[in-house]
Structures are given as C-alpha cells and as structure tokens.
Amino acid sequence: MPLFDPTAFRREFSCFSSSDMLGIYLDNAATTQLPDEVVQTLVSYYQQGRSNVHRSSSLLANQVTIAFEQARTTVAAWLGADTEQLIWTSGSTDGLNRIASGLTGQFQENQAIIVSALEHHANLIPWQQVCQQNNLQLLIIPTTEAGDLDLTQFEYLLNTHSVALVACCHVANSLGTHNNVALISKLSHQYGALCVIDGAQAVAHLDVDIKQLDCDAYVFSGHKMYAPTGIGALIGRIDFLERLTPTRFGGEMVREVGYYNASYRELPYRLEPGTPNIDGALALAQAVTFIRRWHAGRHDYEQNLLNYTIAQLAAIDGVKLVATPLQQCAVIAFEVIDVHPFDITSWLNEQQIAIRCGYHCAMPITKALTRYGSIRVSLASYNTQSDIDLFIQTLQQAIDINRL
C-alpha cells in the first residue's frame, strides 16, 4: 500500500461523488473543495445552536467561546506560532490590507518598499497605495527567464535603497514558483527591513514553520486549504503586531470606552473588532486537523503528480510552459501557440474539466510573459494521474479542433 493513497483521500470529499457539475477539478489555486468533516463542523455549529463569543455567560456561549479560542490555538500551533500571534481575518487579501493600513504613517519619505514581480494583486496594490500616500518608492524584485526571483538583484535593491519593508509570496499563484522566503526574510532583516509573506498558495502544500521562516508576518486563506471562504489569518511577531495601528473599530477590541476616547485590549483582540467569523474559524481548525492527519507522504505525492503533469504538457506539440522555476509547487502555467487561452478552456469546460485562463490576479507578471494570459492547472491531493491523463487527452482534442 502506498504511503499516501490519493483515492482514499478523495473519498473524504463527498462532493466528488454527489455533484453533477464537479468533473475533473484542476483549479485548486483558486479554491479547494471541502472534506466532509469540515462541512460537518459547519453544520454542527448551526444545528446544535450558535452563539456569539466572549459576550455572554450562558452555557452555549461559553462552550462556543472555548471552541473558538481552541481553534485559534490549533491553527497557530500548526504553523509554529503561539496563540496570541494569530489574528483572524477574512483571508490573505484582508490580512495584507490590515498590515498595510496598520503601518501607514510609520515610514519616512526617503524609504522604499520592495515587492516581488510575482505578486498577486493583493500583495501589490496595498503597497502601491502606501507608497503613493506616504511618498515612498516602490521597487520590484525581477525574475529570471525561468520564473525564479533574481535574489542577486534583490540584494542590490536592499543595498542601494533605504528599504522599510519587503513583501513576497511563498508560492506564486501565477507560475507556481516556490520562493526561498527564509532567505528573503534573512536578507530583509540584515538590511533593517520588515518582511511580510503571502502564504495563500503554500499552506495547503508545504510544511510551514514561521519561526524557521523568521518573517515578521505571514498571511493565508482558508479556502485554498480545504476550509471555507471568508476565513483566514495573519500570524505575526508580537512586536510587529503591536506596531499595527488599529484601523477598524467597534466592540470586543476595547478595554475601556468613554464618549470621547477609548483604550484597547491586548493582542490578539485589539486587532479583531466586532463579531468574528466563528463558524469559519472552527472549520479552519478542522481543516488543519484533516491536513495533519493526511500528512504522511502527501507532499511527495503532490510533487510527483506535478512533475508528471509538467512532463505530459511538455510533450504536446504547440504547448509552451510559461515558466520552469527551479522549485515549483502545485501550479503550472502554459500557452498553446496560435490558440487563444479562452478557446482552450472553453472546450475543456464543456468536457467538465475545470482549469483557469487569464491573468490570475497577477497581471504584471502574466502580461510580461504571455500574449493573452496563461492557462493554469493547479493541483490538490485529491487529484490523480488518471485526472491528468484525461486532461491531457482533452487538451489535445481542444488544440486539434482549434487548428482545423
């Protein structure tokens, strides 16, 4: 019996057998499916009676509050963090915007912010806004022809500018490039810069320990790691989180309130105003439990499936891989010469094979490397070699049809 059994893993997801719309699903970089136990966590919260947290003395409210805070501990520990280091968010975009807005006013006009050329819009536009509002310079880490970050140029930028902050993705959603973020964090700190990592595409596939990465903040989204939409987290160093000025205000975050002023609670609550996404947090913790239970051999399986898919694509006449990074994770971007990406994905969709085409919310790098955008295949552990074989066969049909 193999160390990791993708067929058994797939059986944890009833949607694959119960849905008429879900055929071959290869759009996991956008959103993964939910395992049954995560769905059941959501159902239980509503069927057994729901309550708000931290705000009532009833038995139900106390039980929900305990479960909610245990969820925080579970998710934080999974990534090597302490409980008070985790701030609930609605996802990576929310976390990055909270960081950017919370640091506004803490920069000097002669400083710069560095982002990589690979960034999702969520880790680019907030820093564009900060630079415009604070008269800072925005600098870009270029990529090599293969799609890797040029770390020599990165260090040159650090050495020749007064850099306040570096923002970089752990894994690029557009190309699948797996960046050496531990080294990026180390270099950033050597030059006195903060380092913020977008882990949205990493946490479902890699073992992440933020102590080893040594970044100041790490954000991720639940819906890309077998959890619901609308839930995610920002995990940061305590001293970094204390630097963030609250930019959202309301109940729960406050210690004392008068008509003309207010004082705030300790972390993490000072950065969590209002009613949180309680069911989302409970379900995210259950997704973490699910991932940990299926840990053995899963990463190797995914990497082998990725390599198999790359080899099959490279063997098709007319297919051009957009990038060939040294380290790649779960995502492959390609073009078909002389065929528009939309024509390919339309045919695949008719055959119930879900992939994605376009700029993937990473327009600068995708426009730089492609003519009309790329076709993106993104994998999860429930995908199998037979999924890939059928995808490749159908892709060849789409190419043949569009070249008649």
Q: List residues with catalytic annotation.
A: 361
Q: Which two tokens stand for residue 283?
A: 């379900």
Sequence length of the chain is 404
How far is the C-alpha of 264 from the C-alpha of 42, rounded, in Å?
Answer: 31
Amino acid, single-letter form, for residue 380: A
The alpha-helical segments, DSSP class H, found in 161-297 are 181-190, 210-213, 238-243, 278-293
Angstrom distances, CA of residue 31 to CA of 171, 196, 204, 304: 15, 23, 11, 21
How far is the C-alpha of 104 from the C-alpha of 129, rounded, in Å?
Answer: 10
165, 330, 41, 68: CA torsion to nearest 10: -20
How far is the C-alpha of 339 from the C-alpha of 357, rounded, in Å?
Answer: 12
What is the DSSP secondary structure assignment for residue 271, as one 8-state letter?
Answer: G
Residues 331 and 307 sit within 8 Å (Cβ to Cβ):
no
Q: How far is CA 296 from the centre of its chain?
A: 22
Q: CA angle, 364 as apex, 359 and 369 as ends, to 5°?
A: 75
Q: Which two tokens stand for residue 291?
A: 């991932």
Block residue for tokens 């998710």 = 75
Q: Which residue, 125, 245, 173, 232, is CA-closest to 29?
A: 173
Contacts of 22 (CB under 8 A, 6+ apart): 15, 16, 33, 352, 354
